[in-house]
A and B are shown apart, each in its own frame.
Chain A
Amino acid sequence: MKVAVIVFPGSNADLEMFNAVEDIMQVPVEYVWHSETDLAAYDVILLPGGFSYGDYLRCGAVARFSPVMEQVAKAADAGKLILGVCNGFQILLETGLLPGAMLRNRSLKYRCKMVPLRVENNQTPFTADYAENEIIQIPIAHGEGNYYCDQETLARLKANKQIVFTYEGENPNGSIENIAGICNERRNVLGMMPHPERAVHQWMSSDDGKRLFSSILKTWREQNGAAINA
C-alpha cells in the first residue's frame, strides 16, 4: 500500500498528514506535487489543509484546476480512497467530487480549537474503527468551514447516509445541519473540516484521529488481502 500526500502551493498541513501516515499507518508515503500527472502508484490519496493558491478567488477554486486534480478525479472513479481535510475538503467541493460549497464562518472569525464531533456513520472506509454516534475530539482551524448545500442535496446526503461527522454541541462555523464531514455515495471520497492528523498522539491533546487512519488501513487490507507493504 502506498499513500500520496498532495502538495499545492500554499498547503501547510502536508507535513502533519505525512507524519500521521508514517506514525499510525506505517506504510510508504510520498509527497506529490500538484503538477504531477500520474497517480497510478498510489492506493490512498490525501489532500491536506492549508491555503492553496492563497485561497484566491475562493478556497480551493484555483487548486481544483491543478494537473493533479484530474488524476485525483480518475482515482476517485477507480474507487481509490481519497481524503480531503480542511482546504482539501474545500478543493473536493470545488472539484465536484463532493456536493455543496463552503461559505465564510457565520461568526466571520477564524476558529482554531479542539471540538467534539459525532461519528454519524461508521460504515465508511474512513470510520470503520469508530463506534456509531461516538463523540470524538478533533481540532479545527478554519475561517471558511460553513458547509452549505441546497435542500435537495441535503435530503440526498441524509438518505444516502453521506453525513459522516457532525459538530456536537456548539457549531463553530454555522454549517448546515452541523455538518463537519461528508462522503460521496460510493463512500470512497471523504471531506472534513476538522484535522484528524492533528490528533494522533496523546501529547496533541487527543489521539482520536488515529482511528481514521487505522480505518483506512483496515479497509484497504480487507479489500486487498493482508499484503500491506506490497
Chain B
Amino acid sequence: MLKAIVYVTLRESVLDPQGSAVKGALHTLGFAEVADVRIGKYMEVALETDDREQAVERVREMAEKLLANTVIEDYRFEIVEG
C-alpha cells in the first residue's frame, strides 16, 4: 500500500482572500514579521498499489483532472508508504 500526500495551493498570481484575512489577524495578534499567508488544501490518498512509478503517474492524472483546478491552483505531491 502506498499513500499520496497532495498539496493544492492557489497560484502565486492569484489573490488569496483567506490568506490575506489570516495575515491581517496575525498582524493584529502582534506577529508583525508575517509577510504573507497562503492557504491551501492537504489531501491523503490511500492507494491500493505498490508500484511507485505507476502511482506517480496516476496521482498526477488525478490532480490534473479533479484534485486541483490548474486555472487557479498549483499542486504538488509525494508518494509515501501507506
Contact of A103 among B21, B66, B72 (CB under 8 A): B72
Contact present for B17 and A61 (CB under 8 Å): no
- Minimum CB–CB distance for B1 against chain A, Å: 23
**CB nearest neighbor in A for B71:** A101
Residues in A whose Cβ lies below 8 Å from that of B41: 57
Complex interface bits, A85-121 against B, C-beta within 8 A gives 1, otherwise 0: 0000000011000011101111110000000000000
| A146 interface residue (CB < 8 Å to B) | yes
Residues in B whose Cβ lies below 8 Å from that of A94: 69
Residues in B whose Cβ lies below 8 Å from that of A101: 69, 71-72
Contact of B17 among A57, A62, A99, A104 (CB under 8 A): A104
Please report the C-alpha to C-alpha distance between residue A105 and residue B21 in the assembled complex, in whole angstroms: 12
Please report the C-alpha to C-alpha distance between residue A227 and residue B47 in the assembled complex, in whole angstroms: 55
Interface size of B by CB at 8 A reads 13
Interface size of A by CB at 8 A reads 21
Residues in A whose Cβ lies below 8 Å from that of B71: 93, 99-101, 148-150
**CB nearest neighbor in B for A62:** B66
Residues in B whose Cβ lies below 8 Å from that of A106: 15, 17
**CB nearest neighbor in B for A59:** B69
Please report the C-alpha to C-alpha distance between residue A197 and residue B81 in the assembled complex, in whole angstroms: 51
- Minimum CB–CB distance for A172 against chain B, Å: 13
Contact present for B17 and A174 (CB under 8 Å): yes
Contact present for B17 and A103 (CB under 8 Å): yes
Query: Could you tell me which residues of chain A, from 45 to 67, have a CB within 8 Å of some CB in chain B?
Result: 57-58, 61-62, 65
Query: Could you tell me which residues of chain B, from 1 to 55, have a CB within 8 Å of some CB in chain A?
Result: 10, 13-15, 17-18, 21, 41
Contact present for B15 and A103 (CB under 8 Å): yes
Chain A residues within CB distance 8 Å of chain B = 57-58, 61-62, 65, 93-94, 99-101, 103-108, 146, 148-150, 174
A57-B67, A150-B13 known; 4 new pairs, CB 8 Å cut-off, are A61-B66, A65-B66, A105-B17, A108-B21
